[in-house]
Amino acid sequence: MTLPRIHIRRPQRLAALLLLAFLAQCLWVVGHQQLSTSDYRFARCGREMWERPSPLEGYFTTCGNLNGDGTFAYRAAGLPLTAQRLTLLAVDHFRAPANRLYPGDSLNGSTWESRHQLEFVVYLIHLPFVFFALLLGGGLWWVARRLYGNEGGFFALGLYCFCPAVVRMAVTPNNDVLAMWGLYGLIYTAIGVAHAMQGPRRKWRPRIVLLTIALGLTAAAHLLAAIFGFLAALLFMLYVAEKRRGYVMQILLVAAIGALLILFAFYGFHLAAFSYVFTGGAARFWFSLEGIRSFVVDRGFAGSMANFPILIAFAVAALLYCASRRSRYFGNTTPLLVLLALAPILTTQTVSAPWLWALPFLFTFIGGVFADALETRFRRLFLLLTGAVLATQAAMCVLALPLLAN
């Protein structure tokens, strides 16, 4: 099997520049942050998941069984610290006995004896979440560019990279940014599987594997996001698959079984802790406008003003979608439907932000509608509007960075 060639041309380089700008913002915020009690909790419990079982009888970690809270964020926060610690202990074998971190067998000693040797802890805890936010940005650009061309892809990615809400969630340990990454990939992977079903079966398997991984990682981040993504995948696949709709439930059943195994692995194959996935109530939700309100009018400058250009772009895109028939097609309707379904959801058992999961679909929808408008006789007008929105949004986001570091 030959691997596909990767061509790095001007569109890829421009997308990389936008992602570098996003990374620079995140690094600046992380560099001005202080470690919080939440950071310590994610790091401590994540390291316990990787390094040793809980000393408490009947509990997965000293944080408890994480009732309703996904394990993905804890493992992401704890993995760099565990990797650095194991590196230190491996190097410890080559030190003189008097200079070792602690005497005795360094591999069998206490898990926490080398904690004071760890460096750059604030970066080690936060950068995994920046990494997943960068992955989501790359995936957003790839999807939007394939659907709408370069202009739609760049506009969607630009709005994503200069959104203060995304930057704020990318620089703190949380499951929401991971659920946002997983859900976006899950839904568009499912659509990709449905398209592949129109071709030979040998092309189905790699996409089904990706669908299984996406569903499993999303469930490890937040169970409600996985359930929502599974139902959305079912509906979109039934629509796209057409004459091969009979295979859709079989594929999703295989993906669901594989996702359960992935989720079981995130709990270290501890059956008692894994049972809380089904009894913890993480998927309980209701409907409320509180999430939408928190994005439109948040506390301080970082929310209320810095998201204003995005809101203007969405209002224009919504008007164009309703007024122009050429904008009402599957590529634009899909992110709009997901956005409208996710935005009013409010979790009742856990503290999470489903409205954040909807943001990549918001940017995809705006990018698609504006790309359609750029193909009309009003191209110059919309080029000016697109440039003004991106420039204003970038300026607002940069000015909001000091508040995001607090």
What's the rounded mean pLDDT across residues 347-365? Answer: 93
Q: In terms of C-beta density within 10 A (0-12 exposed, 13-18 middle, 19 or more buried), how is residue 257 classed?
A: exposed
Give the model confidence (pLDDT) of 117-138 as tens digits. 555 788 999 999 999 999 999 9
What's the rounded mean pLDDT across residues 318-330? Answer: 93
Q: Give the pLDDT band (50/70/90) at residue 178.
A: very high
d(CA 151, CA 371): 6
Q: Do 28 and 54 form a contact (C-beta atoms < 8 A)?
A: no
Q: Do 165 and 297 form a contact (C-beta atoms < 8 A)?
A: no
Strand bridging mode 285-287 / 345-347: antiparallel
> Which three-class secondary structure state does DSSP give residue 314?
helix
* Percent of the chain residues topping a pLDDT of 90: 60
pLDDT surpasses 80 at 115: no
pLDDT value for 261: 97
Phi–psi pair at 171, nearest 5 degrees:
-105, 15
pLDDT value for 114: 47
pLDDT value for 7: 67
Q: In terms of C-beta density within 10 A (0-12 exposed, 13-18 middle, 19 or more buried), how is residue 87 classed?
A: exposed
pLDDT value for 65: 64
The residue extents of the domains of the chain are 37-122, 123-404
Interior angle at CA 353, CA 181 and CA 364, nearest 5: 45
Query: Got the DSSP string for 365-389?
Result: HHHHHHHHHTTSTTHHHHHHHHHHH
Output the pTM of the full model: 0.91
Q: Do 134 and 23 form a contact (C-beta atoms < 8 A)?
A: yes
Least confident of 1-5, 318-322, 346-350, 353-357: 1-5
pLDDT value for 10: 85
What's the rounded mean pLDDT across residues 275-290? Answer: 87
pLDDT surpasses 70 at 176: yes
Helix residue spans in 93-222 (DSSP H): 121-161, 164-170, 176-196, 204-221
Task: Tell me the residue type at 233.
Answer: A
Q: Give the pLDDT band (50/70/90) at residue 9.
A: confident
Q: Give the pLDDT band (50/70/90) at residue 56.
A: low
d(CA 142, CA 386): 19
d(CA 26, CA 357): 19
Q: Give the pLDDT band (50/70/90) at residue 350.
A: confident
Q: Considering only residues 163 and 106, tell me which one the structure prediction assigns the higher pLDDT.
A: 163
